[in-house]
Structures are given as structure tokens and as C-alpha cells.
């Protein structure tokens, strides 16, 4: 729901709905460690595609297992409601969490795309989706496809910043990174019947892979 205009520009930032969304997306943003590790291998493990595959499989299976327990075991469901109150959306009550879809998207990305493209696509998903939700929740006024235009612009700005980071760091050509940012923002806006974490990662990743095939 788009909030009504406020006389105080900071008033939306104090609303309970925005604070809950901020907490949710702050957790979402911690997943930026995945593409950064793909790019720089800062930790002693994992190294190489095979080890990253093992890591993402373990994380994804663990997340799905926790979701199954949360859905079917009352005590686990109560624990999630206590510690993550307001952060779990209605459609996630009896389905997979967005974080689980994000881990699944990361697993698919490392399997399908070259590593720089996989890292770029995951980063667009993490940063773009988070800033689109935060800006849209606080300042969204105009809707398109039931999402706010302001949120889309916030997500686009974040994706362009990530694209600049990738290009300046020599990970991808400018044109490829910018195309990925544009596609990621478009997919986040469009009402496609696919979780955003999967849709953004796959569509942006395939776009960049088609435009740039490393030698």
C-alpha cells in the first residue's frame, strides 16, 4: 500500500511499517557478502567454482530445511514469529522465505554464469531489491504494476552504483554492467509470476552473459 503524503519528510521513516521493512532489508543486505566473496575470495574457503557450489548447496538445503520446520513445527514457527515479528510477509507464512529464494538464485547463478556475471547478478538482486523496497515504503506515491515508481528509481540508483563498482573494478565492461542494472530494475518492477530474488538474478545474469563472453 502506498502511504499518504506527509508534511514532515522524515515522518515515513518513523512509521512501524517502514521500520519493519528496514529491518527485513538490512538482513537482506548482509547477503552482499556472497557476490563480494565470489569476486575477491577474501576467506580461505571456498575457492573455485566447485567449492562455491558446495557452499551454496549447503546453505540452500539448510534454508529449505528451516522453512519446512517453520511451516510444519509449531515451536519453530513460534520462534520465528518471536524473533522476526513483522519481517515475514504474508505469502511467506506457508512458503519459502525470500532469503531461501536468494540462496537458490545464488546456486543457480554460479552454475549457469561465469563467476563475474554470477557475482554481478546476485549483487543486483541484493542491493536493487533492498533499496527499491526501502525507498518505496518510505516515499512511494506513484504506482506502476502495483509497485511504486519512487521505489523503482531507488532500486535503479542502487543497481547503477553496483554496476559502476563492477566496471571500475575491472570485473565487467561498462556496457555489460549497465545493461545488467537496467534489466534488474525492470524485472523488479514488472509483475512476473516469479520471486524477485530468482527473477532479477536470472534475467540480469542471462543478459550480461549474452553481452559478454570472456575468452
Mean pLDDT across the stretch 164-184?
97
DSSP state string for 127-161: IIHHHHHHHHHHH--SEETTEEHHHHHHHHHHHHH
Q: How far apart are CA 2 and CA 174, in angstroms?
A: 35
Give the count of alpha carbons within 13 A of 42, CB side only: 6
pLDDT in tens, 66-109: 999 988 888 887 877 777 766 677 766 778 888 899 999 999 99
DSSP string of the chain, one letter each residue: -PPPP-SSTTGGGGSHHHHHHHHHHHHHHGGGHHHHHHHH--SSS--HHHHHHHHHHHHHHHHHHHHHHHHH-HHHHHHHHHHSTTTS-GGGTTS--HHHHHHHHHHHHHHHS-HHHHHHHHHIIIIIHHHHHHHHHHH--SEETTEEHHHHHHHHHHHHHHHHHHHHTTSS-HHHHHHHHHHHHHHHHS--SS-HHHHHHHHHHHHHHHH----
118: cell is: 554470477
The answer on pLDDT for 157 being more than 80 is yes
pLDDT category at 56 given cuts 50, 70, 90 is very high
Give residue 136's pLDDT: 81
Longest Cα–Cα distance in the chain:
55
Stated pTM of the model: 0.89
Domain ranges of the chain: 11-211
* Digit-coded pLDDT (tens) for 189-199: 888 888 889 99
Q: Which three cell numbers stand for residue 195?
A: 520471486
CA dihedral 197, 101, 117, 160 (to 10 degrees): 30
Cβ(172)–Cβ(208) below 8 Å: yes
Amino acid at each position: 500500500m502506498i502511504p499518504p503524503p506527509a508534511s514532515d519528510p522524515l515522518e515515513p521513516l518513523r512509521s512501524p511499517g517502514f521500520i519493519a521493512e528496514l529491518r527485513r532489508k538490512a538482513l537482506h543486505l548482509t547477503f552482499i557478502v556472497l557476490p563480494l566473496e565470489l569476486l575477491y575470495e577474501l576467506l580461505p574457503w571456498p575457492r573455485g567454482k566447485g567449492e562455491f557450489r558446495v557452499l551454496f548447496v549447503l546453505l540452500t538445503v539448510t534454508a529449505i530445511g528451516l522453512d519446512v520446520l517453520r511451516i510444519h513445527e509449531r515451536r519453530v514457527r513460534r520462534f520465528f514469529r518471536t524473533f522476526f515479528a513483522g519481517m515475514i510477509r504474508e505469502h511467506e507464512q506457508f512458503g519459502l522465505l525470500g532469503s531461501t529464494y536468494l540462496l537458490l538464485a545464488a546456486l543457480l547463478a554460479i552454475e549457469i554464469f561465469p563467476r563475474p556475471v554470477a557475482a554481478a547478478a546476485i549483487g543486483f538482486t541484493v542491493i536493487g531489491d533492498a533499496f527499491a523496497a526501502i525507498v518505496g515504503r518510505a516515499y512511494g506515491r506513484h504506482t506502476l504494476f502495483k509497485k511504486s515508481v519512487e521505489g523503482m528509481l531507488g532500486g535503479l540508483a542502487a543497481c547503477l552504483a553496483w554496476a559502476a563498482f563492477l566496471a571500475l573494478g575491472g570485473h565487467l565492461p561498462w556496457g555489460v554492467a549497465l545493461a545488467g542494472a537496467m534489466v534488474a530494475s525492470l524485472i523488479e518492477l514488472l509483475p512476473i509470476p516469479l520471486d524477485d530474488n530468482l527473477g532479477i538474478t536470472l534475467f540480469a545474469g542471462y543478459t550480461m552473459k549474452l553481452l559478454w563472453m570472456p575468452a
